[in-house]
Structure 1
Amino acid sequence: MLAWRSVQASSRDGDQLGRLPSTIVAHEQVRRSDLSSHVVKYGGSKLTWQGGRTMKGLSPRVGAVLLSALIPMFCSIGSSIAQSLTLVDKGTSKYCVFHRVDAPSSVKTAAMELQRILKASTGVELPVTADPSPNMICLGDNAVARAAGFDPDSLPYEAFRIATRGRNLYIFGRDAPDGQKTPWNGFSRGTQFGVYEFLERVVGVRWLMPGEWGEEIPQHVTLTVPEVDVKQQPGFLFRVLGISDPPVVKEWLTRQRVSGDPSYWNTACTKVIYTQHSWGWYLPEDLKNAHPEWNAIKGEKNKFCTRNAEAVRALAEGVVNWFDKHPNPPGDRWMASISPSDGQSFCRCEQCSAHIEKDAHGVDSFTVNLLDFYNEVARVVAEKRPGKMVAGYAYGRCEYPPKNPMRLEQNVFIEWTPLNYYGMGLYKPGYRQEFEKVASAWAGMTKNLGYQNYCHWHRSEQGAPYAAALSLLKFQFPLLKKHGFQSVQEYGTSAWGYGGPNNYLLARLMWNPATDVDKTYREWLQLAYGPAWQAMDRVYRLLDERYQKFKVEKEPFPYTGDNYEIMSDKIESIYLPILPTIEKLYVEAYSGAETDRQRKRVQMFGDNMVIFHRNLRKADYLLHPEQSVFYRTDGDYEAFIKQDIPNVYGGNSGPGWLWVEPQIKGIQPPPQTEKRALVIPLLPKERHAPVIDGTLSPGEWNGAAVADSFRIAGSRAVAVRSTTARMLYNQNHLYLSFECDADDLKQTLPTRAKQDNAAIFDGEAVEVVFGLEGDPQNFWHIALNPANSRWDGIRANAIPNLDWTGATKQGARQWTAEIAIPFVSLGIDAPRGTRWRVNLCRSTPLNKDGERELSAWNNVPSGFLDPDYFGVWIFENQEAGGA
């Protein structure tokens, strides 16, 4: 446990602040010491005015006269020579807290919090007054501060300065007056931020999580401020931590100097960046239906052709009208989002197709089309509503910059939202290696650049805990700052029982991207759990290690929506093997905590585990669940989940924000693992091999092994769309055929693509994954679609190629495929008597709206590329008879 002690001035070194437990390496202009971080409370103890001496009781004219007479005296007493100040000495103080009577409400809030915290820490309540004093903490912009040589208006928005002068301490910043915002619809609470910085670094306060039990206030008998003069400003102008935010969480967010989600509810930051999926706002369904020529060719219903000048003009006019409905001032819009509606299927008309590129992974990129669209809308807005900005995502199929840099209009803001990195995707070496290169390329095209990601988030609706990804936090934020990103939006964890460290670190890094992550993480644990911190550290590190291993070794490299879902594959690979260890460490931590606060914070983690354990039990993942400390009967569980949240957690905010993410999906029962097996016949020498023409000619597949009853991914239920595969081999080749039933191929529009273009996975496709003896993670992966487009590689890497033949034939409600793979291309002889690990898979669109059915011969929990779910082929050693 950290030992807190009073800060004493030193004749040898005036900078004593660095000796305190520190979470942030300051990124400001420092003269004497190293201050850094934190914020605000709306409310607190009652503001106490010094009786009979406040400006409140005087007329403005008399007050001004008295103040002008007193200022020179106070400034001479508080000379320009800085020195250490003893604010409280053994239970007494000569100091007051001073600010103007008409100071902004943010300054008054800061004064109340300063008064409250100092009283809780020292037992002394400093009076808050509108009268300056020979010994004072002077807050905000006022005549006293200016007479001492300080100019708050010279600071950037949100910046603050903390300085000692003579007997006085000055804390001031750039403060927006009540009812006013910055030119970018933001807030500036510089003085308030400075006060919380002071409380954290000098008093040692920490707000580890929301509510009273998230607050740590060390005790001081004597409180001394070393001489200091420091300035600080945020690392990013817009900082959003997306979590469920009832009032008690909003309070915590503001103390951390970040805003909550959604972005237009900003309460803390200079500049509001406004991006959402928004095409439907400006092109409503009835307008689109009246113009079918605007529709995206081979794209989703919520898309349109961005090369159709009439459609683009109509959307731009919709943006102009939107601005008119949200004037600024007095409204709250200086920027409009023009981001595409969600989904990754864009127009493929002749004009759009001419500008489709390949991204770094061989996937179709629509970035050029989208950026041209952004520019077109921006020019209309610049002409009709000068000074307004438009903002758009660079997301999904548009997340990679164009091969040739493009000029963007000055009123375009790009929000880089890399879908591939969602759900801790940056653990995958390929994505991590490209991160800075991609960030730099976007920064080379525009200074109007923000970053939004769900990298540090999983959809854990049922209590499954995950840890802060420390290595990714250390890697990500400094690079964003280095390349000039103006804004950062990351999504945290609404379940505070396990999400506290993750949320805290994200908030700290948004304010200061140079934060010492390891030091801050350890301090959080030590303060939160006391002597139990090491046991909880082992829990978090164990979870992080398992996640990293899963992401690198098990999860397919290409992005899928399952990347941030906690489903059966993660439950079986990450959680089930370590549940006994987590339970043992939890019991150790609960026993080791010393104070009620520490035990309650450990218990909050256990509360999450109670929920997780119950849902695992209901899904039949657990043997002997009643033996666990996390076990509750159904009746006890219902009472547990409905209990009121204590006031120390924030009162009646509802249990959802405290323990679990919003309940969206239940945990699915584990698929019953199966190992289907087939014997692959060897063709007699006199028998002709199948002709690879896509037509399953009568007789040529007689005697073949048959794989049918493909299972829907995540279950053993048979797929709605029937698939039948047949296999044979001879001395030179492996032969496969597929018969695939489909409702209407014309409706699902098979994609015609070049070799190794991942676009073939967007539509109908069959896939064969097979591994020879040796490394189970090293296996071939080939795919074919009805348009005879092909893909092959090792796992998800398209660079290795096989010399194989494929052909397809399309009917109205069925398509067929034939494949021949020469053994020489695999570097082997005919595999007589050997065993291969194999799966046969199919992806089937169910409609134009993107709904898909994934099915496999050997059942899989979600994706096709997990070798733990491959079946077995045994190659016959004797020739099969002809028929």
Structure 2
Amino acid sequence: MRLNGMSIFALILLGAIPNSHAFTIVRDGEPQAMVYIARDAKKAAMLAARELREYVEKISGAKLEIVHSLPADRPVIYVGDSEHVRRMGIGVDELPIEGYRIISDKDRLVLVGRDGDRDYVPACRGGKCRHLPCSLGTARAVYRLLEDVFGVRWYMPGELGEVVPKQSTMSTPDLDITDHPWLGLRRTRIIPHPRHDGKLYGQYSTGKKTVPWLARAGYGGGPDGAVQFWHTFQLLSKYRDTNPEFFALLENGDRDFDTTCFRRGNLCLSNPGTVDAMAKEADLHFETFPNDRSFAVSPNDCMYQICRCEPCQNWIKPELRGLPYRELTPDQRRGVYSDYVWTFVNKVARKVREKHPDKLITSYCYQNYVYVPQSIEKMEPNVGIVFCKMLLYSSEDALQRIYANMREWRTKLSGPLYASDYYVWIWRSMGKVPKLRGFPVAIPHRIACDVAVLKDVCDGQAIYGAMSLLSPGLMHLNFYVTGKLMCDPATDVDELLDEYYVAFYGAAASEMKAFWELSERGVSRDVSTSKSFAETMKAWFPAEELRTYFSLLAAGRDKTPSGSREHRRLALIESEMTEAKDFLEREDAPLSMKRSTPVSIPPEIDGRAHVGDSVWKSIPHHRFLALQGGSRNAIGTYMKVAHDDRCLYISIRNVEGHMAKLKTDIRERDGRNIWKDDCNEIFLQPDSKKSNFYHLVVNAAGVLWDGVHSAEKTGGAFSTSTDWDSDAEWAVGRHAKNWTLEMAIPWASLSVKPRPGMQIKANVYRRRCAHPTLGPIVTAWSPLTPFAEKHLTPSRFGSIHFDEEF
């Protein structure tokens, strides 16, 4: 029996549940029943009892007593499996993992489910890491009761995300419910694979409020240690000295100990010794952690080439051998290594099954080995896979190809097939979709369609990106809808959303429905042919629609009482949209203009402009603007410009709170990729009629790169030459809380004859890498349009004016 959540919720708001045989939990704010749980109950059942007591108190103000002996004079709420529950003929052994029963009549309320041995399973072993909900069958019964009968909702982590209708009397109708979550595994990410020495292959991070919310929102499932996937080829790095033949052969004849795959290296999969070594790792893992069900055998991330030895190369189609990965078509890339990788996984699984017949070998189905291997009729029975997909980033056609591939995989597998999706858009870019931190992204209907397919193909799903819930206002809706649908794919997503708008936003329901529906329409636009971040953002978040988002939030705030939960929820969402506000501010930002100050005495070029040079002191400065991330990331960068008849003088002060962390990898003149260091970058276009741009980069170590870009002979594409020598004089100073650059650039090197009234087109940038957590931050003197990807964007150059006599 499934109660209709909307109708029961409405009855609760009216203060009535019509039922003549109600079991009364609380009457007029006083507890009428006790919670019984067996003294030897599992942790998962104890968690369920605590959750029931907590929310009964939130609803009614009454605190239920939890007892381990049956009271003689009080009605009893039986929580969890026990001898007394079994005597009633209510068992859990026949239930699936996380299956549960709810039985209520006038004499009793039974909340029981099939629980795992733990309430939460660590997201990783060792170090500081959060935990994830595990097999919580009894808690599922409690959550179902609180939701369906008492109208509680958990839309977002933390108390602000809860909807808890107040009632002084709490009674349950006659109920007899047997149910279970549809997908057996519903994790927020795949657990990083622990090494047998206790160290980690991967990290997991999320907020303290998030972990209990995940359980309440429907995430969990699977026995303890049920699924562990990670990129584990790096495990064999210990053999680099004793068995170099285990490692992939590179084109230059070296072995790939730490060259590719983010410097984690790659293996030679055709070598029988590599198979044996990986099987030994699995044996060691299961001996160290006998309760774990699986061991991961997965290539290291970003495996874009394989071993160059002949036996390995023979696994690639003849017409593709030797071709650089970048020259392969997308379809060729996605399947190019399938037979090669999965043959290796199968061989390892076969060996491991001899000693551990009840254990699984699990592996990512990922990137260029995502397609079904054609040379394998059936995978070993102890192989499980996790199929990686990306809902937000995939067009409808691409999704249909993904689903067809998953169905084909199902025919090859006897073991489990899990799906994994990536809700990572607020903290990383993907393809031509930039990082969308600060932008509203809602995909509830796409999630519903996806789960409808998964329920017939998969054994579970893991959502990579729970750390995205550190921005709960913008991210909670996708996680909430996903959790509810993975538990019950038959849920009507439109009914779910309509209830959400009313319950969560109150008087602002219509505005927030329009807000999230606008988001869903926007990010549903096909950007598969987009050529840049800017093009994607123009399709998904045009300026007029961004203004509409803020208008809807303002209108919603006006409708809700100040200080109310509804008002605070709207304020939270708006507070997380800093980047969207910056986007709007810069969409039509004017180009920068600066007047150069004439000097009769040239300033000293010694890197100490801000300390005591009287020439520099008298010159006004101009502050830079952050290109992405908003003003919160725009730590001070200040430029001064001066001139005489011999040189153009530029001074830049770069404020820095992490001077010891300055990145200065490039140490030689004209070193490649110097612009990836902490540096200042100067573009100059002395003649706007010519497509020549002088380019100077100086990093915080005082190393110079200078060159010239030209489009005059290439039909618009820029060619670059480092043959040009700026003849500049420059100096970098490193101080307690900043580093400075001073330059004197001769007019002669720019082919300029200075004259009054002259203008030079220019832009100047700072790349900041020193901050330990924010990552590279770029600021500019003349702001680029939002998400412009090239610093050499002449249309956004500012102008330096030389109004006075030289």
TM-score range, shorter chain: 0.5 to 0.7
Q: Map 1:845-856 to 2 at 5 A.
A: none
1:213 alignment counterpart: 160
Q: Could you say if the C-alpha distance between residues 555 and 166 of structure 1 is closer, same or farther in structure 2, counting changes exceeding 3 Å?
A: farther
Q: Map 1:392-791 to 2 at 5 A.
A: 392-403=363-374, 406-418=377-389, 421=390, 424-426=392-394, 428-446=395-413, 447-454=415-422, 457-459=425-427, 463-492=437-466, 493-494=468-469, 495-552=471-528, 554=530, 567-577=533-543, 578-594=545-561, 596-610=564-578, 612-614=580-582, 622=589
| CA-to-aligned-CA distance 1:480-531 (integer Å, 9 cap, x gap) | 1101434433435321121111121122223333332222233223222111
Contact residue 339 and residue 374 of structure 2 kept, 8 A: no
The runs of 5 or more residues in structure 2 that have no matched partner are: 11-18, 123-131, 190-203, 321-328, 429-434, 593-628, 636-675, 698-704, 723-783, 796-806
Q: Map 1:79-94 to 2 at 5 A.
A: 83-91=21-29, 94=32
Deviation at 1:98, TM superposition (A): 2.0
Report the Cα distance in structure 1 between the residues aligned to 2:377 and 2:632, rounded to whole angstroms. 62
Deviation at 1:116, TM superposition (A): 2.9
Report the Cα distance in structure 1 between the residues aligned to 2:66 and 2:708, rounded to whole angstroms. 74
2:232 alignment counterpart: 278
Contact residue 186 and residue 271 of structure 1 kept, 8 A: no
Report the Cα distance in structure 1 between the residues aligned to 2:570 and 2:177, rounded to whole angstroms. 37
Q: Could you say if the C-alpha distance between residues 360 and 614 of structure 1 is closer, same or farther in structure 2, counting changes exceeding 3 Å?
A: closer
Q: Could you say if the C-alpha distance between residues 621 and 233 of structure 1 is closer, same or farther in structure 2, counting changes exceeding 3 Å?
A: farther
Q: What is the letter of the counterpart of residue 289 of structure 2? A: P
What is the SS of the residue equivalent to 2:576? Answer: helix
| CA-to-aligned-CA distance 1:554-605 (integer Å, 9 cap, x gap) | 368xxxxxxxxxx444444433513322221121111122461111110111
Q: What is the letter of the counterpart of residue 8 of structure 2? A: L
2:290 alignment counterpart: 328
Contact residue 96 and residue 135 of structure 1 kept, 8 A: yes
Report the Cα distance in structure 2 between the residues aligned to 1:367 and 1:354, rounded to whole angstroms. 13
Report the Cα distance in structure 1 between the residues aligned to 2:157 and 2:526, rounded to whole angstroms. 32
Higher relative contact order (CA 8 A, sep 6+): 1
Q: Does 1:252 align with 2:213?
A: yes
Report the Cα distance in structure 1 between the residues aligned to 2:632 and 2:788, rounded to whole angstroms. 36
Match of 1:102 among 36, 40, 45: 40
Q: Could you say if the C-alpha distance between residues 388 and 229 of structure 1 is closer, same or farther in structure 2, counting changes exceeding 3 Å?
A: same
Q: Map 1:172-191 to 2 at 5 A.
A: 172-177=112-117, 187-191=134-138
Contact residue 378 and residue 390 of structure 1 kept, 8 A: yes
Report the Cα distance in structure 1 between the residues aligned to 2:184 and 2:708, rounded to whole angstroms. 51
| CA-to-aligned-CA distance 1:599-627 (integer Å, 9 cap, x gap) | 1110111111235435876x7874699xx
Contact residue 184 and residue 222 of structure 2 kept, 8 A: no
Deviation at 1:158, TM superposition (A): 1.7
2:85 alignment counterpart: 145
What is the SS of the residue equivalent to 2:527? Answer: helix
| CA-to-aligned-CA distance 1:750-773 (integer Å, 9 cap, x gap) | xxxxxxxxxxxxxxxxxxxxxxxx
Contact residue 406 and residue 445 of structure 1 kept, 8 A: yes
Q: Does 1:347 align with 2:310?
A: no
Q: Map 1:91-130 to 2 at 5 A.
A: 91=29, 94-129=32-67, 130=69
2:338 alignment counterpart: 367
Contact residue 488 and residue 510 of structure 1 kept, 8 A: no
| CA-to-aligned-CA distance 1:195-242 (integer Å, 9 cap, x gap) | 121111111111121222222111224433222111122222322214
Q: What is the letter of the counterpart of residue 344 of structure 2? A: F
1:304 alignment counterpart: 267
Q: How many residues align?
A: 583
Report the Cα distance in structure 2 between the residues aligned to 1:571 and 1:708, rounded to whole angstroms. 28
Report the Cα distance in structure 2 between the residues aligned to 1:550 and 1:709, rounded to whole angstroms. 38
Contact residue 295 and residue 305 of structure 1 kept, 8 A: yes
Report the Cα distance in structure 2 between the residues aligned to 1:277 and 1:19, rounded to whole angstroms. 47
Contact residue 515 and residue 552 of structure 2 kept, 8 A: yes
Report the Cα distance in structure 2 between the residues aligned to 1:726 and 1:611, rounded to whole angstroms. 39
Contact residue 394 and residue 416 of structure 1 kept, 8 A: yes
RMSD: 4.9
Report the Cα distance in structure 1 between the residues aligned to 2:407 and 2:175, rounded to whole angstroms. 37
What is the SS of the residue equivalent to 1:310? Answer: helix
Deviation at 1:165, TM superposition (A): 4.3
Q: Map 1:309-320 to 2 at 5 A.
A: 309-320=272-283
| CA-to-aligned-CA distance 1:176-206 (integer Å, 9 cap, x gap) | 4569999xx9943221221121111111111
Report the Cα distance in structure 1 between the residues aligned to 2:281 and 2:710, rounded to whole angstroms. 47
Match of 2:7 among 12, 19, 44: 19
Q: Could you say if the C-alpha distance between residues 290 and 109 of structure 1 is closer, same or farther in structure 2, counting changes exceeding 3 Å?
A: closer
Q: Could you say if the C-alpha distance between residues 553 and 534 of structure 1 is closer, same or farther in structure 2, counting changes exceeding 3 Å?
A: farther
- Sequence identity, in percent? 22
Q: Could you say if the C-alpha distance between residues 209 and 353 of structure 1 is closer, same or farther in structure 2, counting changes exceeding 3 Å?
A: same
Report the Cα distance in structure 1 between the residues aligned to 2:240 and 2:708, rounded to whole angstroms. 34
Contact residue 305 and residue 311 of structure 1 kept, 8 A: yes
Report the Cα distance in structure 1 between the residues aligned to 2:787 and 2:312, rounded to whole angstroms. 33
1:167 alignment counterpart: 107
Contact residue 164 and residue 229 of structure 1 kept, 8 A: yes
1:391 alignment counterpart: 362
Q: What is the letter of the counterpart of residue 574 of structure 2? A: G
Report the Cα distance in structure 2 between the residues aligned to 1:169 and 1:161, rounded to whole angstroms. 10
Q: Does 1:131 align with 2:70?
A: yes
What is the SS of the residue equivalent to 1:291? Answer: helix
Q: Could you say if the C-alpha distance between residues 355 and 553 of structure 1 is closer, same or farther in structure 2, counting changes exceeding 3 Å?
A: closer
Report the Cα distance in structure 1 between the residues aligned to 2:82 and 2:151, rounded to whole angstroms. 27
Deviation at 1:406, TM superposition (A): 3.0
Deviation at 1:540, TM superposition (A): 2.2
Q: Does 1:228 align with 2:191?
A: no
Contact residue 466 and residue 543 of structure 1 kept, 8 A: yes
Contact residue 546 and residue 580 of structure 2 kept, 8 A: no
Report the Cα distance in structure 2 between the residues aligned to 1:723 and 1:530, rounded to whole angstroms. 59
Q: Could you say if the C-alpha distance between residues 219 and 413 of structure 1 is closer, same or farther in structure 2, counting changes exceeding 3 Å?
A: same
Q: Could you say if the C-alpha distance between residues 527 and 379 of structure 1 is closer, same or farther in structure 2, counting changes exceeding 3 Å?
A: same
1:660 alignment counterpart: none
What is the SS of the residue equivalent to 2:52? Answer: helix
Deviation at 1:386, TM superposition (A): 4.0
Report the Cα distance in structure 2 between the residues aligned to 1:711 and 1:404, rounded to whole angstroms. 54
Return the TM-score normalized by structure 1.
Answer: 0.57
What is the SS of the residue equivalent to 2:568? Answer: helix
Q: Does 1:154 align with 2:125?
A: no
Contact residue 429 and residue 552 of structure 1 kept, 8 A: no
